[in-house]
């Protein structure tokens, strides 16, 4: 059998073949690794339309809990960075749940996702020319075939270099095939990263990189102050400050403000429709 040739989208070098595995319980898929960038990925994913026939896979029972945790993490991060008064966009935001949770904490957040209906933040999608102070991408990077291109496009579209995202990093060695993060049956996870992968990406993007923990990361336009890096990466400080900040954010909620806005917009739409008859 002829070995497929796959080029690393980060280093531009040929990737080494790792193994083949059954994806979606029917497709034999090859996995590759780039020694220079550390990126591990599948062959070009021809099965994604089938994998995304449902935007959320049936086995994803932790979806709501993760969004709750992510909203708490972001509230803490944005306050420590002094960005709490900014505008934010969650790219590939799914049903808009994270955006709704952040708005309930008083953050001016918007959601967009071309592959999923926005159920929880319908009136809060970025318009053409929207300028963000920070871009969020949670549970996205492992789904992306060309991560550099994805981030560059988002940075250009929203005129913003600050990027907070999640993806679970693997360690110094290639994970065995029983690593749960492969999710072979789901077929949606196609890219996997090491810390050095993200360091190389940040360098190519002209950004500063900080890993808060194994699953949460920042690319920022400006280097953070030493005290900010310390607070963000210290587990104990993060635990207590996060709880304090999230309790305090309840008073800043946009829930009722959003209700009034949506009610007014609904009235305007109804009046416009009646005027057309």
User: What would the pLDDT profile of 223-233 be if each residue is shown by its tens digit?
Assistant: 999 999 999 99
CA–CA dist 116, 255 (Å, integer): 23
Domains held by the chain: number: 1
Distance of alpha carbon 139 from alpha carbon 224, whole angstroms: 24
**Residue 154 belongs to some domain of the structure:** yes
Q: What is the DSSP letter of 188?
A: -
Structure tokens at 137: 């991408």
Tens of pLDDT, residues 9-33: 999 999 999 999 999 999 999 999 9
Residue 188 lies in a domain: yes
Q: What is the pLDDT of residues 70-89, one digit of tens each?
A: 999 999 999 999 999 999 99
276 part of a folded domain: no
Q: What is the pLDDT of residues 139-161, one digit of tens each?
A: 999 999 999 999 999 999 999 99
DSSP letters along 74-140, please? HHHHHHHTT-TTSEEEEET-TTSHHHHHHHTTT-EEEEE-TTS---S-TT--PPTT---SEEEETT-
Residue 129 lies in a domain: yes
Question: Does some domain include residue 241?
Answer: yes
CATH of the domain at 161: 3.40.50.150
Task: Classify residue 121 by its DSSP letter.
Answer: -
Percent of the chain surpassing pLDDT 90: 85
Is 274 within the bounds of a domain?
no
Q: Which domain holds residue 173?
A: 63-252
Q: Supply the DSSP symbol for 3.
A: P
Any domain includes 266: no
Predicted TM-score (pTM) of this structure: 0.91
Are β-strands 191-192 and 16-23 bridged in parallel, bridged antiparallel, or unpaired?
unpaired
- In a domain, residue 271? The reply is no
Which residues are within 8 A (CB) of 221 and not within 5 positions of it... i.e. 6 or more apart? 161, 162, 207, 208
């Amino acid at each position: 059998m002829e070995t497929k040739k796959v080029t690393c989208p980060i280093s531009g070098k040929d990737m080494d073949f790792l193994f083949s595995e059954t994806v979606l319980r029917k497709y034999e898929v090859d996995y590759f690794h780039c020694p220079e960038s550390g990126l591990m990925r599948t062959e070009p994913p021809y099965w994604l339309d089938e994998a995304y026939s449902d935007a959320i896979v049936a086995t994803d029972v932790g979806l709501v809990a993760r969004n709750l945790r992510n909203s708490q993490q972001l509230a803490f991060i944005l306050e420590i960075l002094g960005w709490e008064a900014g505008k934010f966009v969650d790219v590939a935001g799914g049903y808009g749940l994270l955006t709704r949770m952040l708005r309930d904490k008083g953050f001016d957040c918007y959601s967009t996702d071309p592959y999923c209906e926005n159920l929880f933040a319908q009136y809060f999608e970025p318009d053409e020319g929207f300028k963000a102070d920070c871009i969020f991408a949670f549970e996205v990077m492992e789904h992306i075939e060309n991560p550099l291109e994805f981030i560059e496009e988002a940075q250009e579209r929203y005129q913003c270099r600050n990027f907070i995202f999640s993806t679970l990093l693997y360690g110094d060695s290639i994970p065995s095939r029983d690593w749960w993060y492969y999710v072979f049956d789901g077929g949606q996870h196609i890219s996997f990263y090491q810390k050095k992968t993200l360091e190389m990406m940040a360098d190519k993007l002209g950004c500063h990189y900080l890993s808060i923990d194994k699953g949460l990361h920042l690319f920022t336009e400006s280097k953070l102050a030493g005290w900010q890096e310390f607070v963000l990466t210290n587990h104990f400080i993060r635990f207590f400050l996060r709880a304090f900040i999230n309790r305090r954010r309840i008073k800043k909620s946009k829930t009722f403000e959003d209700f009034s806005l949506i009610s007014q917009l609904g009235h305007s739409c109804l009046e416009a429709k009646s005027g057309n008859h």
